[in-house]
Amino acid sequence: MASSPSDPSNQQAAVRKQNRGIPLKFLFPLIYAPVLPLIRIQLRRNPVLRDRLFTAVLAGAFAHGFYLVTDLYDIESK
């Protein structure tokens, strides 16, 4: 007799296959968090470029956080 798609053993196997790799999306803060102070330190002599680059990296960090939070809420709502 063939097992149905809602069989718990099939669902567990599918979850294990999906979770094989490292979740790189959670490691990005380890990259851009140290970059923010380095931007401020290295570009002291060029304040216009420093402020624009700092703002762009910070906006990217907030966008990444927003993506992670909405993705989490999307998973919980299913």
pLDDT range class, residue 19, cuts 50, 70, 90: low
- The pTM assigned to this predicted structure is 0.64
Q: What is the mean pLDDT of residues 31-40?
A: 92
Side-chain-side CA neighbours of residue 33 (13 Å)? 6
* Rounded Cα distance, 28 and 15, in Å: 23
Higher pLDDT, residue 25 or 3: 25
Higher pLDDT, residue 72 or 45: 45
